[in-house]
Amino acid sequence: MNIIKTEIEGVCIIEPRIFEDPRGYFFESYSQRDFEKEVRVIHFVQDNESKSSYGVVRGLHFQRPPYCQSKLVRVISGAVLDVAVDIRKGSPTYGKHVSCLMTGENHRQFFVPRGFAHGFSVLSEEAVFMYKCDNFYHPEAEGAIAWDDPALGIDWQIPAEHVILSEKDKHHQVLSEIENPFDYNSDLY
C-alpha cells in the first residue's frame, strides 16, 4: 500500500496495490500488520456501511472521550468527498481540514484519527460508503459541528441548494461555539 501523508499530521490517504487482469481486479483492502507498521497501532472493533444519493452531506461528526473514534473510510461504489477537521485545542492545525476524493474506481482509503470531526459529501448519483471504527458508537458521546461553518471554509463540491442533510445535521453549532473535549497535548489513544 502507498501511504500519502497530508498537511495535517496523523491524517493520511491510503492507496492499495491493485492487481488487474481480464477477469477484473483484486486488492487487499486492509492488513492489520501493514496498517500498524505504516500508519499507527490500532484495533478496529466495528465496521459500518451507508448508502446515500447525490447531494447528501453527512457530518461533521465526532465522539467525545472516552468514546472517541478513529475511522478508516472508503467508497465501495460512487464518488465521495471525505473531510477531516482538526478539533484538538492547541494543535498547530486546529480548525484546518483535509479532504480526499474517494471513488469506487480509485479504491483510496482515508484515515481520520481521534480528535477530528468527520464528514462527507456524495458527488455521484449514489454512493456506498464503508468505514472501520476503533471504538464502539455511544449516542451519549455524540458531537458535531455545522457542515457549513464559514470559519472552516470547506468546499463540499456541491451547490448549497442541492445539499441534503439529516434533520439532526441541520442544527449543529459552529466550531467556535462547541464545548471542545479534545486537547492536542493529551493522548487520545
Q: Among all residues, which ones are annotated catalytic?
A: 61, 131
Q: Give the whole-angstrom CA distance, residue 109 versus residue 106.
A: 9
Q: Which of 141, 147, 148, 160 lies closest to 68 in space, CA to CA? A: 141
The residue written with cell numbers 492489520 in the block is 32
Backbone φ, ψ for residue 139 (5° rounding): -55, -35
Q: Which residues contact 144 (CB under 8 A, 6 or more apart)?
A: 59, 60, 61, 62, 117, 168, 169, 172
Q: Give the whole-angstrom CA distance, residue 105 versus residue 61.
A: 26
